[in-house]
Structure 1
Amino acid sequence: MKRILGLLAIVLFMNACDDGELTVDTINFDDVQVQKCSQKEILYKISDSKMLILAIPFDNFENDETPENNPTEVNITGNIQVIYRQYSAAPTSANICDLVTAATPNVIEEWNATSGTIQITSTAIKSVNSTTGITQITGYRHYIVFKNITFLKPDGSTQAYLGEDTFVFGNYNATVSPLAFGFDEEANKSTCNNDNRIFNFNSSEAFILDLADFATLFADEVTTTPRTALISATNKVNYRLYSGTINNAYFCTTPVPATPILTQNWIANNGVAAEGSGIIEVTTTSSSPGFFQHTIRLKKVTMTKGNSDFYLGDDYLYGTIITP
């Protein structure tokens, strides 16, 4: 009887090891940080003698937030690869990132993903100035999940994560250069095309106001209380970043010059009177006989590009202009 029970236990054990689940090699990198190669478009994780590799063009990681519950989806195919490796000893970045990869330790087993979808959920990483309340976007956190992924093993068998089963790769944090906002307090009134434009620019960045309410806001009369207008479709505020240096003539050239190229355009959200947000405020003083100085402030303004935004603070000094 004992012999029969022993044989039965062996049979049950062997069947349990052949049910399509991972047995000896379990892919588990849950507590491991995602790392990035500096010379290749590769993300990877290392756990003891194992490595999980995602080779993917980095232009799949946009510098923008993804809408809620609507991640970016990329198919595993062609130049987008997911690879699991086990080495003879603990590997390092030299085994995957160097242009000529290290020969040791040796790869003793490799699984290659043959199908599946990569889901990328992106959120902005922001810093907040505790004094002014101004926020800056310093990077984007890309949360990466594999859906319906199937690995091909060296023996020709497969390991699949299908249906609701997800395979979490982890967070890849990409840094971006914060917008400089390196403007001085002296702004400029456009002198071309009789438009109602005010702009402040420095090197490759410009901060532009296009104001239908220009005549009211900048009346040549000393104010006792500030004049205000809500940001709207006719009172526009834009921050623009270019690929090269711009100058005063750029804003008067028609058509718009082909270079430098506009690389970012942030648009101020419309103002809401009930919330006291999105307000353009102008205070006018006498500068010298016959001249008036107008000080422009932006109150509780949020700038948006795509799905990303940042806050200019409760009270941002845009600059001053002088009119005769």
Structure 2
Amino acid sequence: MKKIASILLFAFLLNGCDDGDISVDLINFEDTTTLNCPTDETITSTLIFKLKEKESLLLYVPKNIFAGDPNPVPKFYDINLTDHRVIYRAYNGKIEQNNICAVIPPATPTVIEEWIATSGVISVLTAPEIDTKDEINNSTRIIAYNYNITFKNITFDKPGGPQTYETFSFGGYRIPVSPANLAQPFLATNAGQCTELKQVYNFNAGESITIDNIDPSLIVNEVTLPDAPRTGLINDTTNKVIYRTYKGGVLTKDFFCKIIPPTTPSVTQFWAGINGVAGESGIIEVTTTNIGNTGFLHTITLKKVSLQKGTNVFKLGDTYVLGQITTSSI
């Protein structure tokens, strides 16, 4: 009889542990989709989250963590109770995105259990998503950034006492690039050259390409012969090709050619052209034709130019027409 009672007691304890593991000890959202609550540019923080049938995992962090800054190694952020927050919640009914993002949350479902992370580290590894569809011109474009998020030594304060995970994978978070890198063609009329800075530029609403400190021998008031453009190579001192993206305003010609660059719109990404190799890559070509008796039209083409930020690279293509600028002999 004692033997049977012992077996029954053991079975009861085992079932109790199983229930605790399911509802409390084991949480895993790695294979679920990451969602976010939309915000405008005036809000500096963002809420991203994952949902299961009756569970949510919330991550509240500054937006600049997801600013499209690719790195070969992760960046780390300390978890706290203010601006780097991690919260797990269980509900008494099915949870949906509008329950999380609504200004006035629905009355149901209600939270029946909450864990708040009190310490640990958020690890974020950022990588660009490259589109390689343009095989004819051998160009690539960054169409999104993928963020792999992992929690290290995270401790949750939960009803049953603190619990620590040495490694807890939140999973991936994908943000499409906006504006998509060079998806909008630059208008020929937007191109220009700065008189003092000797910078050549072209742009659209939120992007620009400049050739800083361009070699003066490339822009000359002389017509070039057919199939004989002037050429120069990208390098660290002259012919520096820079691609930038911006936020907080719309670019106009007035933005360029200032000794002190304007602060609005602000630069969000900065990509530098990789130094050229004669006859192979990183080549600037200029073809010059007449405009009337005293004018000259210079067409600037970038050949086999790649742009780099850290360890990340994308290709403008075998041929990329930057634009046309005009000069006069008088």
What percent identity do the matched residue pairs reach? Answer: 38
1:44 and 2:49 aligned: yes
For residue 213 of structure 1, give the secondary structure of its aligned residue in structure 2: coil
C-alpha separation in 2, matches of 1:58 and 1:154: 30
* Root-mean-square deviation (Å): 3.3
- Partner in structure 2 of residue 143 of structure 1: 148
Matches within 5 A, 1:250-289: 251-257=256-262, 259-273=264-278, 276-285=280-289
For residue 95 of structure 1, give the secondary structure of its aligned residue in structure 2: helix
1:314 and 2:322 aligned: no
1:217 touches 1:228 (CA, 8 Å); kept in 2? no
Q: Which amino acid aligns with 1:48?
A: E
Matches within 5 A, 1:115-264: 115-130=119-134, 131-155=136-160, 157-162=161-166, 166-177=167-178, 178-180=180-182, 181-185=184-188, 187-190=191-194, 192-193=195-196, 196-202=198-204, 205-211=207-213, 213-215=215-217, 218=220, 220-224=222-226, 225-233=228-236, 234-241=238-245, 243-245=248-250, 248=253, 251-257=256-262, 259-264=264-269
Deviation, structure 1 residue 112: 1.9
1:34 touches 1:44 (CA, 8 Å); kept in 2? yes
238 and 87 in structure 1: CA distance in 2 versus 1, 3 angstrom threshold = same
C-alpha separation in 2, matches of 1:125 and 1:59: 18
C-alpha separation in 2, matches of 1:3 and 1:169: 47
2:218 touches 2:231 (CA, 8 Å); kept in 1? no
Q: Which amino acid aligns with 1:183?
A: F
1:293 touches 1:322 (CA, 8 Å); kept in 2? yes
Q: Which runs of 5+ in 2 are unaligned?
A: 40-44
C-alpha separation in 1, matches of 2:58 and 2:274: 41
Q: Which runs of 5+ in 1 are unaligned?
A: none
1:231 touches 1:237 (CA, 8 Å); kept in 2? yes
C-alpha separation in 2, matches of 1:216 and 1:85: 63
Moved more, 72-81 or 314-323: 314-323
2:221 touches 2:296 (CA, 8 Å); kept in 1? no
C-alpha separation in 1, matches of 2:251 and 2:55: 51
Q: Paired residue for 1:92, among 87, 93, 96?
A: 96
C-alpha separation in 2, matches of 1:241 and 1:23: 47
2:218 touches 2:286 (CA, 8 Å); kept in 1? no
1:74 and 2:77 aligned: yes
C-alpha separation in 2, matches of 1:92 and 1:174: 21
For residue 273 of structure 1, give the secondary structure of its aligned residue in structure 2: coil
How many equivalent residue pairs? 313
C-alpha separation in 2, matches of 1:262 and 1:38: 22
Deviation, structure 1 residue 113: 1.7
TM-score, normalised by the number of residues in structure 1? 0.81
TM-superposition CA deviations, 1:62-109 (whole Å, max 9, x none): 211122xx2111111022222222211211223322122222122222
2:67 touches 2:268 (CA, 8 Å); kept in 1? no
58 and 133 in structure 1: CA distance in 2 versus 1, 3 angstrom threshold = same
C-alpha separation in 1, matches of 2:218 and 2:95: 68
Deviation, structure 1 residue 160: 1.7
For residue 21 of structure 2, give the secondary structure of its aligned residue in structure 1: coil
C-alpha separation in 2, matches of 1:257 and 1:161: 46
Deviation, structure 1 residue 280: 0.8
169 and 229 in structure 1: CA distance in 2 versus 1, 3 angstrom threshold = same
TM-superposition CA deviations, 1:177-227 (whole Å, max 9, x none): 11455423354344x23x543333455654322355332564725335333
TM-superposition CA deviations, 1:35-60 (whole Å, max 9, x none): 11225832222222222222222222
TM-score, normalised by the number of residues in structure 2? 0.79
